[in-house]
Amino acid sequence: MEKKIIVDKLRLTYEGIFSLEELYKLIDTFLREKGYDKRERIAHEKIMPEGKYVHIDIEPWKKYTDYVKAEIRLKIYATDMKDVEIERDGVKARMNQGKVQMIFDGYLSTDYENRWESKPFFFFIRTIFDKYIYRIYTDKYEGHVIEDVNQLHATIKSFLNLYRFGAEQSTAPEEQPQA
């Protein structure tokens, strides 16, 4: 199997109020809508004196054909995370406050079932096939991987910025226009 790195270590950092549970639901919904299957490799939580430390590794994948498969690796690190209670529009809600760092990687795997690697001659034929015949198709699939990773990044960034904007709005004193 050949695994090609398409998106390498795209980062997203956020510090402030957020909901880790809602963030996870957002990621899950996005992947389901895009047709990805998901595997959670690591889900680790550790309580430290300065707050919780959470590490989650998610590896969604999507088969385009019997020969090409897209994979995304998303690593989430939440540090100094504390539970806080905020009031928004008169309703109290339990949220998290801390730092979140995410790392996105995108891969394209070809011959993921190892059909062409059983004999050296087949491996040679596969190399020629990939380089000259199937290259047009793999370029198209690379574009899909880039688009999906960038959309996921933008969706999460917008989601977290909503919290930043909402926190600024809820803490700012209300001003009434003067007549």
Residue 151 contacts by C-beta under 8 Å, 6 or more apart in sequence? Answer: 30, 34
Q: Residue 82: what pLDDT?
A: 92
Query: Which amino acid belongs to residue 163?
Result: Y
Beta-carbon count within 10 A of 123 CB: 12
CA distance 24 to 57: 11
- What global pTM score does this model have? 0.79
Distance of CA 20 to the CA centre of its chain: 13
Question: Residue 58's beta-bridge partner residues?
Answer: 40, 74
Per-run averaged pLDDT (10 residues), the chain, 179 residues: 86 92 94 93 90 94 88 95 84 90 93 65 73 76 93 94 60 36
